[in-house]
Amino acid sequence: MSRAARRLAVAAAIGALACGDISAPVRSDLYEWRLEAPAVPGPGLDTLSFHWAQEDLPVRVWVEDAFGLPDHMARAIDVWQGSFLYGEFAAHLVSDSATADVIVRSGTPEDKLRRQRLHSALRPECAGVTDLDIDVASRELRLPIRVFVDPRSLPDDPGIEPCLALTSIHELGHALGIFAHSDRPEDIMFVDPEVDLPSNRDITTAEAAYHTPANLQAVRP
Amino acid sequence: MLKPILIPALFLAAGAGPLHAQVDYYARAGAMWASTLVRDVLVTEVTVQQSIAPMIALGAGMPISPGYRAGVEATVASGGYSAEQDGADADLGTLRTASLLLGLDGPVVQQLRWRVGLGGIFYLPSEDQGIFLEGGPIRFVAGAGADWRHPVGSEWDLMVSARYDVHRFTTEELEQRGFSQAQSVNRVSLSVGLARGIR
């Protein structure tokens, strides 16, 4: 190989290294994550969307120490944090419920707290509910978001732990901004999911929620 | 993780005894800029980039023919990295890179020398999260640069160096998410240090 040919080959190799971009996947397989609520003033429906702003992170989550819920919710936080590529969501457990953005309790909610209620994970062993206090007129989401995880069976029921684990992930999915349910059982955000972890479709939906402007603003008391 | 850098450096040091008079050592400190690591589209464009990072470099070389040397250079840079979308930045933590290049250098004019090298670059994020959820990658890297030296004593030289290197970046996590190909990452550094050895 002549000297000129070698130089040309080296230049071509460096050029090949220096050029070209990574190619991102097309993310089109997702479901509606926004909440439809009666418009104020009516008539019709408002589509409400929410995600935690960067300045709100990490979201503070208080969990009642019952039925292993702190461990389940800590894992749910890890699972959702790991679903994002660019630090869109982060949360941690706190010991003082007065400072929490999300409060997780066992059992069922009292009706007087109800504003927007998302019933979920209606398995025989356990169930979950997320209550959102939304003022549609002012477009405010009043914190804290209240999550209830209800163990419906005895602690030695072999199905209770998996049910609590997936229900924790599902309800935290609501608390991070997926305010609607998927229409497919293979998504963790289906009302009664057949899976234990977020699917690619759940992740794509969560990404869409965090990269689309929100029209609800979190307001602390 | 630093084994690939430390082991050749130790071998070099061990073999340096008899060749002491011929071996050229140097250490430098400076700053490094790197281009975009990831370019994505989530409604609008998202880019991930490292901040300008402080860096240190250690190297050694031996003559292979009159005026020319072969050597090894290890560089470590540590700084923040962030994701940017629509003018808003999200801090993603600390990202260290360590590179090891085997190279050649030769004279340009008087105190100025050129350098080229090939080697590997190791990404060492502070936390395995986001694009580094499955860990930091090791990538092939090619580099070039120039060194200017000025004697400041009987054995020591002031050394001012400019470096450029390029590699193709992706991570296991990005590949699992369906990203294809890789991003060309260009890095430029300027540094100052001391060299001791042959003239």
A87 in contact with B, Cβ within 8 Å = yes
Contact A94, A108 (CB under 8 A): no
CA A40-A202-A215 angle, to 5 degrees, is: 25
Contact A195, A162 (CB under 8 A): no
Which pair of structure tokens corresponds to residue A139? 């477009």
* Nearest residue of A to residue B171, measured between CA atoms: A22
Q: In chain A, what residues touch B90 (CB-CB under 8 Å)? A: 54, 86-88
| Interface of chain B toward chain A, CB-CB under 8 angstroms | 38-44, 46, 48, 83, 85, 88, 90-92, 129-131, 133, 142, 166-170, 173-174, 177-184, 186
Model confidence at A11: pLDDT above 80: no
The alpha carbon of residue B135 and the mean position of all alpha carbons in its chain are separated, in whole angstroms, by 19
Is the Cβ pair A54, B90 closer than 8 Å?
yes
Contact A205, A33 (CB under 8 A): yes
User: In a mutagenesis test of the A interface, which of B45, B172, B184, B185 is the best target, namely the one with the most A β-carbons within 10 Å?
Assistant: B184
Report the pLDDT value the prediction gives residue B1, as an integer from 0 to 100.
Answer: 44
* Nearest residue of A to residue B131, measured between CA atoms: A85
Phi and psi at A168, nearest 5°, equal -60, -45
A27 in contact with B, Cβ within 8 Å = yes
Cα–Cα distance for residue pair A206/B82, rounded to 1 Å:
20
**Nearest alpha carbon to residue A85 among B175, B185, B30, B12:** B175
Average pLDDT over residues A25-32: 93
Q: Per mean pLDDT, which range of A32-41, B53-62, B64-73 is the poorest?
A: A32-41
Average pLDDT over residues A99-122: 77
Which pair of structure tokens corresponds to residue B194? 């001391």
Model confidence at B42: pLDDT above 80: yes
Q: What are the percentages of helix, strand and coil residues in chain A, rounded to 5?
A: 30, 25, 45
Is the Cβ pair B39, A88 closer than 8 Å?
no
Average pLDDT over residues B71-87: 96
Report the pLDDT value the prediction gives residue B153, as an integer from 0 to 100.
Answer: 84
Give percent of chain B with pLDDT exceeding 70: 88
Cα–Cα distance for residue pair A215/A27, rounded to 1 Å:
22
Report the pLDDT value the prediction gives residue B4, as an integer from 0 to 100.
Answer: 47
Model confidence at A210: pLDDT above 70: yes
Q: In chain B, what residues touch A23 (CB-CB under 8 Å)? A: 179-181
- For residue B54, say if its preceding peptide bond is cis, omega within 30 degrees of 0: no
* Nearest residue of A to residue B141, measured between CA atoms: A17
Point out the residue among B48, B85, B181 whose CB comes nearest to the CB of A23: B181
pLDDT tens by residue, B156-171 = 999 999 999 999 999 9
**Nearest alpha carbon to residue A76 among A64, A97, A93:** A93
Q: What residue has token string 């209770």? A: A160
Report the pLDDT value the prediction gives residue B126, as an integer from 0 to 100.
Answer: 94
Indicate the pLDDT class of residue A64, thresholds 50, 70 and 90. Answer: very high
Indicate the pLDDT class of residue B34, thresholds 50, 70 and 90. Answer: very high
A14 in contact with B, Cβ within 8 Å = yes
Is the Cβ pair A22, B44 closer than 8 Å?
no
Cα–Cα distance for residue pair B117/B169, rounded to 1 Å:
18
Report the pLDDT value the prediction gives residue B2, as an integer from 0 to 100.
Answer: 47
Model confidence at B183: pLDDT above 90: yes
pTM value is: 0.85
Model confidence at A9: pLDDT above 70: no
Is the Cβ pair A211, B42 closer than 8 Å?
yes
- For residue A38, say if its preceding peptide bond is cis, omega within 30 degrees of 0: no
Report the pLDDT value the prediction gives residue A110, as an integer from 0 to 100.
Answer: 76
Indicate the pLDDT class of residue A40, thresholds 50, 70 and 90. Answer: confident
The interface predicted TM-score of the complex, written ipTM, equals 0.83
Adjacent-strand bridge partners of B31 = B54, B190
State the average pLDDT for chain A: 88
Point out the residue among A18, A88, A210 whose CB comes nearest to the CB of B166: A18
Is the Cβ pair B184, A20 closer than 8 Å?
yes
CA A81-A50-B93 angle, to 5 degrees, is: 35
